[in-house]
Structure 1
Amino acid sequence: MSNDISNNGNSKTVENNDDDYKVMVLQPDPKGNSFDEITKYIDENIRVFRYIPWIVGCAGVLVLVGSANMVRRYAGAAGVPRRLIYANSVLHGRVAKTEQQSLLVWHTPLLRQLFRVGLRPPANVESRDLIKVQFSGVSLNSAPDKTAVWLRQTLLTRSVQFRLLHQKDDYIECIVHSWRPRWFHYGPRKKYCVNEELVSAGLGTVEELKGFHNHTASVKFIQQLIRQEKTAQRKGKGVWQGTDHESSWNRLRHQINRLLGRSNKNDYHSTSLPISGVAEDFSSHKH
């Protein structure tokens, strides 16, 4: 067995000619190693490197808070950024005033809701500080007076959640949700869609839905509105009372109530009948 030893730079190679194998023995580099230098630098400044994750985390939280509109309060429909409307963002607020076909909402950012600060509008709040909200997919031209009474009795001073869909002039068309009052202040609050309630009560008819970029969700929403409209037609509620859409049983019930001098609090009379709703021609809708 013969061994040959050769030196090459920082390594020494030992060769065994009989067994045909090589063994590489590494020798330390007299000039030093860059990895060791980096490790040494980190050890000397370990305190700084411990604070880096906290700094990055705080910066991320600030960016998230700013992008999610958790701090800023928007005053008026013109003050809402267009990017939020295009993204169909959801805002929260409290109804300060009502009109015949719209709500005037005091916007409350999410961060204020978490800390329960500034939820109620000031007593002398002006209309320019409120976001004017109308109901997407619902036409309220048939019984505006009755609609104004319903909105005032149902939603005034109530908390609402509204999804921004389409801005037009000085108002924004939205899908509005609210919560039913609790029984004796116990139990979970039940959430409901105000747009559907208006159609179900016979106060409005279904119209074209604009600005909803989620096609699947928009189709489901408009179909739900049409379903509520057909139910209101069959039961003869609101503007549908006395029309051909009303079922014979409900027409008979209304006639008996009129003969007996009774009034149904859920029936809203109107001198003008609504135009043909989208329920009869849903195929003409453009999403």
Structure 2
Amino acid sequence: MVENKDTDTGRSAPYRAAYLNTLTHYLDGHVNAVRNASTVLAIAGLAFAARGVRLFSKFYTVADIPPHFIQKNIRLQGKVIQVKDQHLQVEHIPILYLRIPYLMKKQEGTIGVHLAGVKFEEGAVEWLNDNVHAQAVFFKMLQINSCQELDCVVTTRRPGWRGLFSSMCLNEELIRQGLGKVAPIEGMHVGATYVKLTKMLLRAELVAERKRRGVWTEPTVLERYRASSSDVSLSVAVYLSSPAPAGVCPVVAAAAFVAPPNPPAVAELPPKPVPVCTPNQPLGAVRPKTAPKATGMYLTGFF
């Protein structure tokens, strides 16, 4: 009788069946051990990933942030603590924040976050205090600028019910409201991120300029007239409050003070030609040196 051999392994089929049967019985008898091993491997993988992503780390200063986070433009979460002249002071919030007393560091600090490509104008600080102060924000890190602050693209939820469905970019919204102007991002490499951000901000600035918002607002004709009238009235009041020169009427002096000091010069007309009289010519026949021409005839003299 010829024994059935497995051509691939060189072992008989009954031997392989017995091996699989033994392994199955072993796994059935040690189910808990297999499950525990799987759990341990999963926890180890999560711990390794958490160590690289810093799930539990809280950054108190810019120096605490790993350099590869900034190079990869990682987005972090934070809370706006204070709004300053040209940047925000943000408290970092870790991805997984465990409130364990003995693991929490008794340390306080905020990160300076600058809105990349935006220069604050009049009213920007007040608007940010009204809309994002003490609110949660997400900031995408681009670089560390010369002031040791983070140049970031900052986003937050929209106020009201719209915040449930959409978010707004503070860089774009501040310029769209006319409270900021587009500024170059010094020190940043001109790449795809730089070009995309600059185009977005320029479009927002064009909208603000077209709708005359914020710094792009121009006074009306009535407002310009009132401003000029108030300036003239103020000038007269200041002049009248000072002692007038002796022998000069105050009203006349005030009018002279308001009037322009150098009136425009009036063009002088050329002098008329003077008649020239010769000794052998009677007085009635005096002719001008240059006699004007008339249509069809010449004037022979003055009568």
Q: Which TM-score applies when normalising by structure 1?
A: 0.61
Matches of 1:212 and 1:55, distance apart in 2: 44
Alignment-derived partner of residue 254 in structure 1: 220
Gaps of 5+ in 2: 6-11, 101-106, 228-303
Q: Tell me: CA distance 1:255–1:152, structure 2 relative to 1, closer, same or farther (3 Å).
A: farther
Matched, 1:199 2:175: yes
Deviation at 1:110, TM superposition (A): 2.4
Out of 129, 151, 159, the position equivalent to 2:136 is 159
Following superposition of structure 1 onto structure 2, how do residues 121-270 of structure 1 map, counting pairs within 5 Å?
A: 129-140=109-120, 143=121, 146-168=123-145, 169-182=147-160, 188=164, 190-209=166-185, 215=192, 218-241=194-217, 251=218, 254-257=220-223
In the alignment, what sits opposite 2:251? none
The secondary structure found in structure 1 opposite 2:160 is: coil
> Aligned-pair distance for 1:220?
3.3
Cα offsets for 1:114-170 (capped at 9, x unmatched):
x8x79xxxxxx96xx001100112233xx3x53333332332212211111111242
Match of 1:166, SS state, is strand
Q: Which residue of 2 aligns with 1:270?
A: none
| Cα pair 1:182 1:189 within 8 Å, conserved | no
More strand by share: 1
2:45 alignment partner in structure 1: 60
Aligned CA distance change for structure 1 residues 37 and 212 (closer, same or farther; 3 Å): farther
> 1:165-211 CA distances to partner (integer Å, 9 max, x unpaired)?
1112421010011223225xx97264111101221223332233565
Letter in 2 for 1:148: V
Higher Cα Rg: structure 1 or 2? 2
CA RMSD of aligned residues (A): 3.6
Moved more, 60-69 or 93-102: 60-69
Amino acid of the residue matched to residue 133 of structure 1?
A: V
Shift of 1:101: 0.4
SS of 1:73 mapped into structure 2: coil
Deviations for 1:41-70, whole angstroms, at most 9, x for unmatched residues? 545544312222222222233333333333
Match of 1:163, as an amino acid? K
- Structure 1 residue aligned with 2:291: none
Structure of greater relative contact order (alpha carbons < 8 Å, 6+ residues apart): 1
Name the count of aligned residue pairs.
213
Look up the SS of the partner of 1:106 in the other structure: strand
Give 1:50's aligned amino acid. Answer: R
User: For residues 109 and 256 of structure 1, do their structure 2 counterparts lie closer, same or farther at Cα, with a shift above 3 Å needed?
Assistant: farther
Percent sequence identity over aligned pairs:
27
Gaps of 5+ in 1: 13-25, 119-124, 242-250, 262-287
Q: Which amino acid aligns with 1:178?
A: T
Which amino acid is 1:198 matched to? L
